[in-house]
Structure 1
Amino acid sequence: MSFLHDLPIADLIANYGYIAIFIIITLESAGLPLPGETVLLTSAAYAGSTGNLSIALVVAIAATAAILGDNAGYWVGRRWGLPLLLRKGHMIGLDHGRLKLGQYLFRRHGGKIVFFGRFTAMLRAYAAVLAGVNKLDARRFMVFNAVGGVAWASIMGFGAYLCGRSIENVMGPVGLALLAFVLLGAVALWMFMRRHEARLMVDAEAAIPGPLVAGSVAPQAVAG
């Protein structure tokens, strides 16, 4: 039996399959703090170790969900914008510090944040909403969003699929050691990203001192 069967998310994938992948990744991409990338990685590894899912469909559904969810988040952010998030953003993890960080990043990097944010834990769920809040050009957003969604789903999905196939074929202590190494690497990456986020928040506060006010956007983001 696959070691993946012991993971709660694997139970979700085993029971609901592609529907679970689509719903969770769509909602995370729209701005809700859900484990979308974990679902993609687990689904792809599950496909590799059991053959019960098609990796091509897993990747296609994940990419579609990411793009659709990001578009929803973008238009919510663009329509209701900063006033709503200043009042309610803390409910989805977008506190004042992260809102300021988003404005700072879009001011410096514009649309590139949409693409690279897809691969970054601290931005993945919020990049699209923040792009809308900061009035990034819609056409520019859609291009970066589509390319980022396809690249993210393909790289993460096929990578996890190959890992799932490999780990399932490695038996005994070697397989356990490999799994432990992967888990430790994931923890180390999470710790690094948390420290990096803290440093960026300090930079954002220095660049944009004081409280954010409704109606303020990142000037360079508006221009694209």
Structure 2
Amino acid sequence: MHIQEWLESVPAVAVYLLVGGVIGLESLGIPLPGEIVLVSATLMAATQDHINPYILGACAVAGAIIGDSIGYLIGRKGGKPLLDWLGRKFPKHFGPHHVATAERSFQKWGMWAVFVGRFIALLRIFAGPLAGVLHMPYWKFLIANVLGGIVWAGGTVALIYTVGKAAEEWIGKFSWVGLLAAVLFGVGSFVVMRIKAKKAKAESEAAPAAEQPEAVPAGD
């Protein structure tokens, strides 16, 4: 099956659930590539008419807000022992220096750390649980969480969808230009590689000769 046909056969509901689920799990503290999934799904929406970007954006926003809220409750109940346990299980994401960096951000910025953290991979994972561990008032957390989720998820979908549509239209109008550029790039790369290979071969052949000691003339 051609890739285009396969993409068209993917149910839109499955895409919406995947995006909302991955972003929600990442937001509650599980290290997952939420941003990559969101961008990929939005690019798919730009090329596949059966995927509605508005529904996609709404699912992403809902996943971000709900996931962060669950993470907050987990952090509130688990406290510091939860962070210690996560540090042992996921040292690359919840190591002591990661936790210390996130705590400094929260102590310095407060609500802004939750909002801005939505745009930073490390803080996006930490924001909910750490806000709960540090006992940030829930109403403050909720305001920053909702605004951050809307701006990050909604803004990402709007931006990537617009760029994807523009790129699709440009490629459709100037496909022959892209083909010519690809051919020229391929030929140019081949020529450069051949030149570099010849140069490297010449240098490797010259090196042993240069390293050989000069003959010492025999004494009288």
TM-score in terms of structure 1 length: 0.69
1:49 paired residue number:
47
1:71 paired residue number:
69
SS of match in other structure, 1:126: helix
State the 1:137 CA deviation: 1.0
State the 1:88 CA deviation: 2.8
1:121 paired residue number:
121
Moved over 4 A (4+): 2-7, 10-15
Distance 1:34 1:46 in 2: 20
Distance 1:77 1:4, change over 3 A: farther
1:192-203 mapped onto 2 (5 Å cutoff): none
- Structure 1: which amino acid aligns with 2:115? F
Unpaired segments of 5 or more residues in structure 1?
A: 178-224
SS of match in other structure, 1:142: helix
Distance 2:148 2:5 in 1: 30
2:59 paired residue number:
61
The alignment status of 1:25 with 2:23, answered yes or no, reads yes
Distance 1:12 1:101, change over 3 A: farther
2:157 paired residue number:
157
SS of match in other structure, 1:52: coil
1:80 paired residue number:
78
Distance 1:163 1:23 in 2: 25
The alignment status of 1:141 with 2:141, answered yes or no, reads yes
Listed one character per residue, the Cα deviations across residues 83-130 of structure 1 (whole Å, up to 9, x for unaligned) are 121133342421111111121111111110000000112211111111
More relative contact order in 1 or in 2 (CA 8 Å, sep 6+)?
Answer: 1
Distance 1:174 1:81, change over 3 A: farther
Identity of matched residues, %: 32
Q: Is the 8 A contact 1:45 1:162 kept in 2?
A: no
Distance 1:174 1:132, change over 3 A: farther
Residues paired across the two proteins, number: 174
TM-score in terms of structure 2 length: 0.71
The alignment status of 1:130 with 2:147, answered yes or no, reads no
- Structure 2: which amino acid aligns with 1:104? R
